[in-house]
Amino acid sequence: MAISTFQKERKIMKKNLLRKLPSIDVLINTEEAKELIEEYSHNLIVEVSRNVLKELRTEIQKNEKNVSDEENLSSENILKRIENHLKEKFSPSLCKAINATGVILHTGLGRAVLSREAKDLVNSIIEGYCTLEIDIESGRRGHRDVHLNNLFCELTGAEAATVVNNNAAATLLILNTLAKGKEVIVSRGQLVEIGGSFRMPEVMEASGAILKEVGTTNKTHLKDYTSAINENTRAIMRVHHSNYRIVGFADEPAIEELAELAKEHNLPLIDDLGSGALVDLNEFGLETEPMVKNSIKAGIDVACFSGDKLIGGPQAGVIVGKALIVEKIRKNPLARTVRIGKLTIACMEATLKLFLNQKKLNQKHPLYKTLSLSQEELEKRAKKVHKKLRALIADEIDISLIEGLSQVGGGSVPLETLPTKLLRVKSNALSAEELAKKLRLDSPPIFARVHKGAVLFDFRTIQEDEDSLIAEALMKLLKSD
């Protein structure tokens, strides 16, 4: 097939552009490059220069517009691009974000907002050494569990506690310690899938325990557990549904019934509580979640739950229960592989101490403060932002206040919502998806909802000191279009 004149011209132009690319030696011997070398290092500048030149060659071959202009291929402009690559390389990937989605415990955005007390204690630990695993009185090595053990025992009624890096690890560690190679009885209706597509049967399999399913998806009776007990049974387990509900024609034994059955057969009862409620959520207008202290009171042998859901602390998996069992779990070699560090301990200790004075929980604890926000408070803040935007943004942009609903999220109370106030923004120049993307790419990134062609901002999850940042970002993005 004959090559057209246009194709020949394109081919010649590509060759000419490729020839105009400076060599690495030419680039790194410029004054601008010498300044970068002084700030970073010679080897790093060479490496980044090589990558940038490779990118430019690829862009030339693909006929991308940004390299069709020869001026963009000058040493000066290429060095600017190299400098941008370096800035990006050294900029943190993990950064502060604004949560305007209305999902309070947003897994993707780090779940719980930490308290001022937690931040202060973590900052004090960061500044130097700390008493992580040392006994102050004797000067000898101690155990890191000492910092959290008494607090969890006081708040739950358990005899002992230990903490690992998340609740999946806690579940795996308990099962590996108590039932490796043996059967654990679980209701079919409790074989949940948790975040990141991890499924309870898979976690159990990884622990070395053998899953013994009983009952049906919607109904499991006490007799189903009784019939499944045999010489290979090592434990009975209840798993809280957490992120879903079975409603209607459904039933399962109460934890007290399972505790009595387990005791009768000399088997440990494991209770995976998921969210780990330390207070009654009824006080905050939500459906009650199973409370840890009620499970302990009912007679379970060991329970586990998350630290960053309803406790509102750092990511962690908490194990509480009878002292002999917890001590056995601590001695499992796997415990060292999933243990937590000093920053998590500091953050958790400060968070737990907020629960010691529950009268002030909705004032000092960010999660419970957020749950307690009234419609009047939210409306007042939303109106202030709305008024500011209306005065400065063109009429073709639709900005209004509407009623809405927030979610707890994070696998907690899945059917429960809280009334909230939403700022609704719709632009003729930008689609809702385009505006939402621009907001995510802003600094700090802002995450909002897209619904029916508009972007919604939920003031329940926006921190009060972030209201002005929302207004400034919208003014910048909408006025420029």
Domains located in the chain, CATH noted = 5-90 (no CATH), 116-364 (3.40.640.10), 371-479 (3.90.1150.180)
User: What is residue 19's predicted lDDT score, i.e. its pLDDT?
Assistant: 85
Rounded distance, CA 192 to CA 7, Å?
59
Whole-number Å distance between alpha carbons of 5 and 240 = 71
pLDDT given for residue 244 in this prediction: 57
Q: What is the pLDDT of residue 70?
A: 63
Q: Which of 70, 98, 5 is nearest to 467 (CA)?
A: 98
| Per-residue tokens: 244 | 């879903």
Distance, in Å, from the CA atom of 212 to the CA atom of 144, rounded to the nearest integer, reads 35
Please give the sequence-ordered ranges of beta strands (E in DSSP) within 79-206, or none if there are none. 98-99, 103-105, 160-164, 183-187, 193-194, 198-199
Find the Cα–Cα–Cα–Cα dihedral 315, 320, 324, 326, rounded to 10°: -10
For 473, the enclosing helix (H) or strand (E) is helix 467-479
Is the backbone of residue 71 left (phi > 0), alpha (psi -120 to 50) or beta?
alpha
Q: What is the pLDDT of residues 98-132, one digit of tens each?
A: 999 999 999 999 999 999 999 999 999 999 999 99
Token pair belonging to 346? 């500091």
pLDDT of residue 419: 94
Asked whether residue 76 carries a pLDDT value surpassing 90, the answer given is no
Helix (H) or strand (E) holding 425: strand 412-426
Q: Give the Cα separation of 191 and 202 in Å (integer).
A: 10
Task: Answer whether residue 69 shows pLDDT above 70.
Answer: no
Which has the closest alpha carbon to 439: 404, 472, 462, 391? 472
pLDDT band per the 50, 70, 90 thresholds, residue 65: low
CA distances to 21, 101, 456 from 97, rounded to whole Å, are 39, 11, 16
Given a cut of 80, whether residue 412 has pLDDT beyond it is: no
